[in-house]
Amino acid sequence: MLGKNLMSCSFLLTFLTLVDPLANVAPNGQATQSSLYANNVHAVNVINGDMTGLCSHTANQSSPWWKLDLLAVHRVLAVTIFNRPDCCPERLIGAEILIGNSPSTEKALAAPLVMEILSTLTHTFHCGDMEGRYVVVILPGQKRILSLCEVEVYASLAGVLMQNVALSRTADQSSSHPDGPARNAVDGNRDPNFAKGSCSLTHQESNPWWRVDLQNVYTVTAVMITNRNEFENRLDGAEIWIGNSLEDNGAKKSRCAIISHIPKGRTFYFPCSSTEGRYVTVFLPGTKKILSLCDVQVFPLDYADGTYI
């Protein structure tokens, strides 16, 4: 839902610069909050695009916050906040929206925008093209409760667009279920529903692995992995390795990350602290394991003056 002011803003943009109106990118991000008041008021409730659904709600605490990780640096034009329709809209007074590149919720994030008095349910804040990967709503002070019912972030990708060098590369895995060839995880389709035919799947075995050959040596800064909707715990404990040879199926290399848990259907971003390699391997150590990946994206940082080398 676009606020009145944002509508006219998009209208102007469209006619002055011939760009597409900005999308609400919040549903693509990952939301967390400082505490949880009760079981059904999770941070993620407010980025599902459903204005009539459940809200988020922290405990009564000191400086509660809600945070959205957009997974990449965005240029944020506007943020729309939906307040509670049923009670106590005044609790949001004094809340601040922070946009920045550090996951820290400290004020160091950026100069905050301070919300005005909330007299209506929906508020759109113009952020003047602030750049950042994180959008934080924080209520500074003692004994405060932060409850939001929807958050929309109108933004475009900023800075250098990250290039997924795994896309459509040659992928292989330790064994293949007929409906889950390795290439399904590099097809650029993150659909987490296995039945839609876009996830890889091994048979049950010991130490299954999946690997992509990037066909060039890259300095890998991050790997993003999308888990499937079903059997979400199967990926727990999987390891991401980066290396230059196929010896031991790529195992004798640098480990980028161990996946503790990726919730079902979600995409998580694993920083790899600039590891060089041509092969990216996902290993699942243990017996009677099944490895299934819906999408693997690999991001290099091989820039010279902002362009790829």
Ligand X SMILES: *[C@@H]1O[C@H](CO)[C@@H](O)[C@H](O)[C@H]1NC(C)=O
DSSP output for 221-285: EEEEEE--SSSGGGGTT-EEEEES--GGGGTSSEEEEE-----TT-EEEEEEEEEEEEEEEEE--
Q: Among candidates 162, 158, 84, 103, which has minimal Cα distance to 128?
A: 158
52-81 positions binding ligand X, by CB under 6 A: 60
Q: Cβ 143 to ligand X, closest distance in Å?
A: 4
Q: Cβ 136 to ligand X, closest distance in Å?
A: 21
156-175 positions binding ligand X, by CB under 6 A: none
List CB contacts of 257: < 8 A, sequence separation 6 or more: 223, 239, 240, 270, 271, 272
Residue, CB closest to ligand X: 60
Task: Tell me: does residue 41 bind ligand X (CB under 6 A).
Answer: no
List CB contacts of 8: < 8 A, sequence separation 6 or more: none
Q: Cβ 57 to ligand X, closest distance in Å?
A: 11
Query: 3-state class of 182 per DSSP?
Result: helix
Q: Which of 4, 20, 87, 143 binds ligand X (CB under 6 A)?
A: 143
**Looking at beta carbons only, is 56 or 275 nearer to ligand X?**
56
Q: Which of 13, 36, 145, 301 binds ligand X (CB under 6 A)?
A: 145
Q: Cβ 85 to ligand X, closest distance in Å?
A: 17
**Looking at beta carbons only, is 78 or 139 nearer to ligand X?**
139
Look up residue 201 and give its amino acid: L
**Looking at beta carbons only, is 16 or 87 nearer to ligand X?**
87
Q: Interior CA angle at 59 toward 53 and 63, to 5°? A: 110
206-245 positions binding ligand X, by CB under 6 A: none
The contact set with ligand X (CB under 6 A) reads 60, 143, 145
